[in-house]
């Protein structure tokens, strides 16, 4: 992960833009409402009758004082606070920045109810949506990039040359599980290297293309003799409901060379992918190999283990985890 170009930094900058843009706009609008409660300076004096649909209108909506205070508090100070936290590089700024995008959408829902449809309300609803999406992306990228794993923390790897752990990992999650398995068994370790781009946002979509079509992705040549190992553990992330394209290429090249195997499958959904284990067995010429299906979300793991994979096909089934 250290050499991968950061996706969090541009997402953080985009979120900072939205919080400052929305925050300053709300402060300016609130200031105008408070300085001129009639709304004449903004050309809004004719809109006051529409507020009579709201509760307590006879008290709160006779002029723009209360709407101005509400705008300042709900969208102004909140977004500027989030901007300050983002500038201070605090994780809370990411969460609040995304949350206040949702707040803006809810705020704009009130004009949708009160006023005739207009370009300004639609635009700000879209701004809120983009802010919320940017906040979510920034949080995911932040969690991904702060996740790290070092092979030096697993000193027992390679102490048992009769076992091998093979893995492909794009984000590092599968790597961590592979290192843990190799360390617990003393197995040797081999990382599958793809010859296609797999890193970053473009790599994500490129991998998705391979996963959708069930294509093998070109990989570097497998060194050594796989038949010399008594047992091989194959670790793969799940791409589009099946195992990854580099691991598919490995299985095709290793067909007939592996005597005994088990699988570790890493995915985002809380759904076991035993179907992928069956497909890997088919490609390797094996049957009913043990498998572990592991849900991983930004570095947090939940393992659903099963001794043997059921007789299904790799079509993305939705069998729910029984753990």
Pick among 3.30.1360.200, 3.40.50.360, 3.90.226.10, 3.20.20.100: CATH of 151-306:
3.40.50.360
What's the distance, CA 136 to chain centroid? 8
Judged by DSSP in three states, 76 sits in helix
Phi and psi, residue 296, nearest 5°: -130, 125
Measure the CA–CA gap between 174 and 166, rounded to whole angstroms.
10
pLDDT values of the chain reduced to their tens digit, one per residue, 323 residues = 445 678 899 999 999 999 999 999 999 999 998 999 888 887 777 777 877 777 887 878 888 899 899 999 999 999 999 999 999 999 999 999 999 999 999 998 887 777 777 788 889 999 999 999 999 999 999 988 888 888 889 999 999 999 999 999 998 999 999 999 999 999 999 999 999 999 888 888 999 999 999 999 999 999 889 999 999 999 999 999 999 999 999 999 999 999 999 999 999 888 888 899 999 999 999 999 999 999 988 778 876 666 464 444 443 433 333 33
Judged by DSSP in three states, 181 sits in helix
Q: What is the dihedral of CA 308, 310, 315, 320, to 10 degrees?
A: -90
pLDDT of residue 304: 63
pLDDT of residue 26: 95
HSE (side-chain half, CA atoms, 13 Å) at 207: 26
Measure the CA–CA gap between 294 and 303, rounded to whole angstroms.
4
Strand-strand pairing, 163-167 and 188-191: parallel
Sign of CA dihedral 311, 322, 211, 308: negative
pLDDT of residue 106: 94
Q: Residue 306 forms beta bridges with which residues?
A: 291
Measure the CA–CA gap between 99 and 81, rounded to whole angstroms.
12
pLDDT of residue 162: 96
**Lookup: tokens for 300:** 């947090």
pLDDT of residue 28: 94
In the chain, domain spans: 8-146, 151-306
Q: What is the dihedral of CA 79, 81, 82, 86, to 10 degrees?
A: 140
If one counts every other C-beta atom within 10 angstroms of the C-beta of residue 97, the result is 30
């Amino acid at each position: 992960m250290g050499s991968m170009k950061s996706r969090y930094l541009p997402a953080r900058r985009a979120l900072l833009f939205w919080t400052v843009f929305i925050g300053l706009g709300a402060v300016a609008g609130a200031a105008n409402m408070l300085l001129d409660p009639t709304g004449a300076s903004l050309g809004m004096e004719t809109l006051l009758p529409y507020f009579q649909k709201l509760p307590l209108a006879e008290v709160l909506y006779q002029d723009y004082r209360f709407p101005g205070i509400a705008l300042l508090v709900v969208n102004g100070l909140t977004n500027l606070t989030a901007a300050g936290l983002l500038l201070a590089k605090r994780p809370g700024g990411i969460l609040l920045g995304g949350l206040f995008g949702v707040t803006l959408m809810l705020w704009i829902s009130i004009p949708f109810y009160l006023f005739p449809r207009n370009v300004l309300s639609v635009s700000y609803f879209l701004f809120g949506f983009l802010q919320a999406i940017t906040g979510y992306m920034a949080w995911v990228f932040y969690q991904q990039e702060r996740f790290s794993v070092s092979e030096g923390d697993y000193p027992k790897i390679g102490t048992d040359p009769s076992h091998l752990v093979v893995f492909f990992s794009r984000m590092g999650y599968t790597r961590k599980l592979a290192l843990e398995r190799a360390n617990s068994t003393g197995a040797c370790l081999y990382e599958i290297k793809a010859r296609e781009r797999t890193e970053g946002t473009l790599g994500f979509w490129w991998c998705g293309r391979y996963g959708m079509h069930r294509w093998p992705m070109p990989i570097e040549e497998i060194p050594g003799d796989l038949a010399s190992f008594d047992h091989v553990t194959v670790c793969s992330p799940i791409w589009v409901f099946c195992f990854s394209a580099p691991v598919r290429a490995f299985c095709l090249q290793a067909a007939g060379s592996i005597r005994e195997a088990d699988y570790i499958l890493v995915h985002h959904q809380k759904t076991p992918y035993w179907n992928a284990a069956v497909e890997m067995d088919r490609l390797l010429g094996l049957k009913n190999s043990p498998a572990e299906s592991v849900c991983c979300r930004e570095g947090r793991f939940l393992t659903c283990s099963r001794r043997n994979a059921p007789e299904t096909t790799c079509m993305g089934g939705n069998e729910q985890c029984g753990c």
